[in-house]
Amino acid sequence: MTDRLLATVQAGVRIFDLGRPMFRGMPQSPNHPQYWHTLPRRHGDVVRADGGSAANDLVVSGTHVGTHIDALAHVSHNGCLHGGVDAAVAGVGGGYARHGVHTIEPMVRRGVLLDVPAVLGTETCPPAYEITPADLERAATAHGVAVGRADVVLVRSGWGRHFATGGDSYVGRETGVPGVGEAGAQWLAERQVHAAGADTIAFERLPPQGGHALLPAHRVLLVEHGIYIIEALDLEELAAAAVHEFTLVLVPLALTGATGSPVRPLAVIADV
């Protein structure tokens, strides 16, 4: 008997790549080590007797670079990780056996896109705009989707369009960056979502010249409710196709004890 999922795949699916390409100099948070790639060996450096040659790579990178997922070990509050785990004790030995990114199971889940600029009537949310529960409710209603338990909810602010123009505009140190506020994070938590993501550098709203000084949505999601955060998503193609419900496929690297991992999420729908 053919598995129903395999039958769907064989009949045809459309895949939206939600991950950003990783390259030297790409926009990223200044709080994390930069991504670096080089070739220690190039073709021709060593040539085998039969004429064959191989190249190889060296990559040095922070784990919260490019499109990535935050593990529950990433943020603590008053000295505790999610579930009251002592953050200092958990990090003894140079890694987080509890709540490290290796503990995140591969995700094949219902995904929901909430396109906030679409319901605001703008191309992108203004700088430092706080996405409120009312905005999320309005987007869900307009798109005809309900956010439910165990979903992965992706919030488009439109700010992702700045990724290609360079680090200053995307990181938004001077202007601030739009995003979900503390109340919006509570709205997501009340619906018991599995993970939440956005097209911005830090998921949540960043005030002008404020940077990452305060991150209340991270506290609400990661520490208080154990909800993973996905950042720097590319949501433009998905939004342009008006796809608001899909199968989300996401697999973090099994980096034992790490606080995050680069990811390449896919939104999959039947090709009808």
Tell the CATH topology of 4-21+63-270. Glucose Oxidase; domain 1 (3.50.30)
pLDDT at 166 exceeding the cut of 80 = no
Distance of CA 164 to the CA centre of its chain: 17
Find tokens 């550098």 and name the residue.
Answer: 201
Q: Which amino acid is at 165?
A: T
Report yes or no: 233 and 210 within 8 Å, Cβ to Cβ.
no
Calpha distance 150→111 (Å, rounded)? 9
pLDDT in tens, 32-81: 999 999 999 999 999 999 999 999 999 999 999 999 999 999 999 999 99
What's the mean pLDDT when you consider all of the chain? 95
For residue 263, give every residue at least 6 positions away whose Cβ sits within 8 Å of its Cβ, in sequence order, or none.
Answer: 19, 67, 68, 69, 230, 250, 251, 252, 253
Q: What angle do CA 262, 232, 171 make, to 5 degrees?
A: 120
CA 103 to chain centre: 17
At 263, is the pLDDT very low, low, confident or very high (cuts 50, 70, 90)?
very high
Band of residue 1 on the pLDDT scale cut at 50, 70, 90: low
User: pLDDT tens for residues 87-111?
Assistant: 999 999 999 999 999 999 999 999 9
Task: Give CA–CA dist 149/191, Å, rounded.
Answer: 6
Read off the tokens for 197: 């993501």
**pLDDT interval class at 211 (50, 70, 90):** confident
Mean predicted confidence (pLDDT) in 121-150: 97
Range 106-120 burial, b when 16+ CB lie within 10 A, else e = ebebbbbbbbbbbbb
Q: Which residues pair with 237 in a beta bridge?
A: none
Q: For 175-205, how does the pLDDT look when each residue is reduced to its tens digit (9 = 90+)?
A: 999 999 999 999 999 999 999 999 999 999 9
In a 13 Å sphere around the CA of 238, the CA atoms on its Cβ side amount to: 33
Instruction: Give the pLDDT confidence score for residue 5 in this predicted structure.
Output: 85
Nearest to 109 by CA among 266, 237, 253: 266
Map out the domains of the chain as residue ranges.
4-21+63-270
Distances (CA, A) of 37 to 21, 24, 58, 125, 258: 13, 7, 6, 33, 20
Task: Kindly report, residue by residue over 4-32, the tens digit of the pLDDT.
Answer: 888 888 889 999 999 999 999 999 998 89
**pLDDT at position 160, please?**
96
Instruction: Return the pLDDT at 4.
Output: 84
